[in-house]
């Protein structure tokens, strides 16, 4: 029997009222406790006093029965369950199968998010430390977009600061000509930077010279600006090739140099007007933070710092985007910097400062651009490409091959009543958890939540297909068990088509999950 809803209600603050919405899911429950006992995995954490079921479902207990409520297209529709035959599994199986036919994931958040990720420096190769920020930031961006958010992906490149002075000192020491730099720009620029850093450890005059060069750049020296522009262009060309290989795109490129004299002066004026900026005896201008720490915004020689420019950048971003959240995806070693940034913004009495968040990840130890001890991403990608050519994996093509070669056709209607096997039940439950998993990933901003779920869903398919059927419940191998037991070929056409639809729904979830992670699913390898 194909289950259809008998009564649908649209909810608002005054309660439920009849709706003209005519498609949905239904089931029969006598109490919310029954739902919890029958399917505890679906009852998620509470938000705003509402008990969440996966994929934007809610359960409401009312006098006339229990309502299952779905949020779709930013409205909430309730599916009334009174007098309808079926059970919790029928309800969820109907939803899972219908999603395999035509439904898209319901949007569950409406927020504008600006995400600053990657942020490499000019004249330096893209290394493994930048990769983690890029990949994690890409996942967070994809996740917010999938859930209905409007995302602005920002790549904030470090092209300003004393590092430019050190680079120029290193080039002068190495005697590289402009023609030599054009032939191999990134490698020579990086070698010059490392040379200067190592030499400056034993010669304080080199550090002073680097600061002098940067001060000249800030003051608008034409010769220094021309060199700086050339070095920046060399770097951008290399970065764009790397991002293309990673499949990562950005909505905006920002430069640290965008926030120089005029913007910095505006920031300092605002801080002085509020009485926040203090002049120290050594000539530094600082802000006293609430945790008895100081944040230096202007050095004693009058040059600005990365923190000062980050304040200007945050003000500029809010002026352009009026974001609901501003996320900085940066390794944990920068925690003190972001503590100072957000502490300063809050002292400026900016209400939106509470919406800023530093998304941390572990630092890759043993790598330093100053020491020349980094692993370059281009080398890693090249090595990975070579290894992939040596190892052919057959298992990822199996679900796709099943749909192409099993002889059954995807049905136009779903009938969960024929899916009674334990493996089908477990797979239905796991597929239906997808929305719950995405919501948890969104709350925690953690890719591992989604990755663990996808592994649990698909299991070790390549290895498990050849094994004998294990009738025990292996929670890490659900799709594999279902794949072995729920045969499609040479089965009753109706049963075969419903099983195929279940596998099709599973494959769609795997595909969507991989896309959110930034991985491109392959039909076969």
Q: How many Å apart are CA 12 and CA 161, to the nearest integer?
A: 54
Q: Does pLDDT of 192 surpass 60?
A: yes
Average pLDDT over residues 176-183: 84
Kindly indicate the confidence band of residue 449, based on its pLDDT and cuts at 50, 70 and 90.
very high
Q: Does pLDDT of 473 surpass 60?
A: no
Q: How many Å apart are CA 415 and CA 498, to the nearest integer?
A: 7
Q: What's the CATH code of the domain at 437?
A: 1.10.730.10
Same domain, 367 and 492: no
Same domain, 128 and 72: no
Buried b / exposed e across 456-488, counting CB within 10 Å, b at 16+? bbbbebeebeeeeeeeeeeeebbbbbbbbebeb
Residue 290 lies in a domain: no
Same domain, 213 and 256: yes
Q: What letter would DSSP give residue 449? A: H
Position 504 scores a pLDDT of 81
Position 117 scores a pLDDT of 85
Out of 101, 136, 163, a domain closes at 101
**DSSP per-residue codes, 387-399:** HHHH----GGGHH
Q: Does pLDDT of 235 surpass 80?
A: yes
**Residue-range definition of the domain harbouring residue 372:** 112-268+307-376
Kindly indicate the confidence band of residue 110, based on its pLDDT and cuts at 50, 70 and 90.
low
Q: How many Å apart are CA 470 and CA 466, to the nearest integer?
A: 12
Position 451 scores a pLDDT of 93
Kindly indicate the confidence band of residue 39, based on its pLDDT and cuts at 50, 70 and 90.
very low
Position 10 scores a pLDDT of 30
Kindly indicate the confidence band of residue 459, based on its pLDDT and cuts at 50, 70 and 90.
low
Q: How many Å apart are CA 317 and CA 315, to the nearest integer?
A: 6
Model pLDDT for residues 283-301, shown as the tens digit of each residue: 999 999 987 889 999 999 8
Residue 473 lies in a domain: yes
Kindly indicate the confidence band of residue 421, based on its pLDDT and cuts at 50, 70 and 90.
confident
Residue 390 lies in a domain: yes
Model pLDDT for residues 71-81, shown as the tens digit of each residue: 443 333 333 33
Q: How many Å apart are CA 498 and CA 426, to the nearest integer?
A: 15
More confident residue, 155 or 260: 155
* Helices (H) then strands (E): counts for the chain: 19, 15
Same domain, 234 and 122: yes
Same domain, 399 and 369: no
Give yes or no for a contact between 1 and 415, defined as CB atoms under 8 angstroms apart.
Answer: yes
Out of 376, 403, 423, a domain closes at 376
Phi/psi at 115 (5° precision): -125, 115
Measured in residues, the chain has a length of 525
Q: Does pLDDT of 115 surpass 80?
A: yes
Position 8 scores a pLDDT of 30
Q: Does pLDDT of 4 surpass 80?
A: no
Same domain, 44 and 159: no
Residue 276 lies in a domain: no
Out of 71, 101, 131, a domain closes at 101
Same domain, 362 and 237: yes
Q: How many Å apart are CA 441 and CA 244, to the nearest integer?
A: 26
Residue 301 lies in a domain: no
Number of structural domains the chain divides into: 3
> Across the chain, what does the average pLDDT equal?
73
Residue 285 lies in a domain: no
Average pLDDT over residues 130-147: 92
Give yes or no for a contact between 240 and 232, defined as CB atoms under 8 angstroms apart.
Answer: no
Model pLDDT for residues 314-365, shown as the tens digit of each residue: 999 999 999 999 999 998 989 999 999 999 999 999 999 999 999 998 876 6
Kindly indicate the confidence band of residue 176, based on its pLDDT and cuts at 50, 70 and 90.
confident
Kindly indicate the confidence band of residue 391, based on its pLDDT and cuts at 50, 70 and 90.
low
Q: What percentage of residues in the chain have a pLDDT greater than 90? A: 29
Kindly indicate the confidence band of residue 107, based on its pLDDT and cuts at 50, 70 and 90.
very low
Q: Is 86 helix (H, G, I), strand (E, B) or coil?
A: coil
Question: Beta strand pairing status for 15-18 and 7-12?
Answer: antiparallel
Same domain, 409 and 491: yes
More confident residue, 73 or 490: 490
Residue 35 lies in a domain: yes
Same domain, 214 and 192: yes
Residue 319 lies in a domain: yes
Q: What's the CATH code of the domain at 231?
A: 3.40.50.620
Same domain, 330 and 214: yes
Same domain, 447 and 369: no
Same domain, 138 and 175: yes
Q: How many Å apart are CA 93 and CA 115, to the nearest integer?
A: 36
Kindly indicate the confidence band of residue 93, based on its pLDDT and cuts at 50, 70 and 90.
low
Tokens of 303: 């040059």
Question: Beta strand pairing status for 285-288 and 294-298?
Answer: antiparallel
Q: Does pLDDT of 1 surpass 50?
A: no
Position 173 scores a pLDDT of 92
Chain centroid to CA 237: how far? 25
């Amino acid at each position: 029997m194909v289950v259809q809803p008998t009564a649908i209600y649209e909810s608002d603050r005054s309660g439920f009222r009849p709706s003209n919405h005519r498609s949905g899911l239904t089931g029969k429950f006598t109490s919310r406790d029954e739902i919890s006992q029958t399917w505890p995995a679906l009852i998620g954490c509470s938000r705003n006093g509402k008990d969440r079921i996966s994929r934007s479902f809610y359960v409401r207990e009312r006098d006339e029965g229990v309502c299952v409520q779905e949020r779709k297209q930013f409205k909430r529709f309730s599916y009334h369950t009174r007098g309808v035959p079926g059970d919790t599994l029928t309800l969820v199986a109907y939803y899972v199968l219908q999603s395999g036919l035509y439904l898209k994931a319901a949007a569950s958040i409406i927020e504008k998010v600006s995400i600053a990720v990657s942020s490499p420096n000019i004249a330096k190769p893209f290394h493994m430390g930048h990769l983690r920020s890029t990949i994690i930031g890409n996942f967070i961006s994809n996740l917010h977009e999938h859930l209905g958010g409007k995302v602005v992906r920002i790549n904030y490149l470090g092209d300003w600061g004393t590092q430019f002075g050190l680079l120029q000192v290193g080039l002068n020491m190495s005697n590289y000509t402009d023609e030599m730099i054009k032939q191999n720009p990134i490698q020579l620029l990086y070698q010059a930077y490392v040379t200067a850093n190592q030499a400056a450890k034993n010669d304080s005059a080199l550090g002073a010279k680097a600061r002098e060069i940067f001060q000249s750049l800030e003051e608008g020296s034409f010769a220094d600006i021309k060199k700086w522009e050339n070095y920046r262009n060399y770097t951008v060309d290399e970065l764009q090739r790397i991002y293309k290989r990673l499949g990562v795109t950005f909505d905006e490129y920002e430069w640290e140099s965008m926030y120089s004299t005029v913007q910095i002066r505006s920031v300092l004026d605002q801080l002085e007007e509020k009485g926040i900026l203090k002049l120290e005896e050594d000539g530094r201008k600082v802000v006293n933070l609430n945790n008895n720490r100081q944040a230096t915004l202007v050095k004693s020689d009058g040059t600005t710092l990365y923190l000062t420019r980050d304040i200007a950048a945050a003000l500029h971003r809010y002026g352009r985007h009026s974001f609901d959240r501003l996320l900085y995806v940066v390794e944990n070693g920068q925690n003190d910097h972001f503590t100072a940034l957000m502490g300063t913004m809050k002292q400026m009495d900016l209400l939106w400062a509470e919406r800023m968040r530093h998304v941390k990840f572990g630092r890759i130890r043993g790598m330093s651009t100053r020491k020349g001890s980094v692993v370059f991403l281009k080398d890693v990608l090249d090595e990975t490409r070579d290894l992939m050519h040596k190892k052919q994996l057959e298992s990822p093509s199996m679900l796709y091959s099943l749909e192409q070669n099993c002889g059954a056709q995807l049905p136009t209607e779903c009938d969960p009543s024929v899916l009674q096997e334990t493996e089908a039940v477990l797979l239905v439950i796991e597929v239906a958890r997808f929305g719950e998993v995405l919501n948890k990933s969104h709350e925690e901003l953690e890719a591992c939540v989604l990755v663990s779920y996808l592994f649990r869903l698909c299991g070790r398919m390549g290895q498990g297909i050849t094994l004998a059927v294990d009738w025990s419940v292996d929670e890490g191998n659900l799709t594999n068990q279902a794949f072995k037991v729920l045969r499609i070929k040479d089965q009753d056409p109706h049963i075969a088509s419903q099983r195929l639809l279940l596998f099709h729904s599973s494959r769609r979830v795997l595909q969507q999950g991989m896309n959110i992670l930034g991985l491109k699913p392959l039909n076969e390898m």
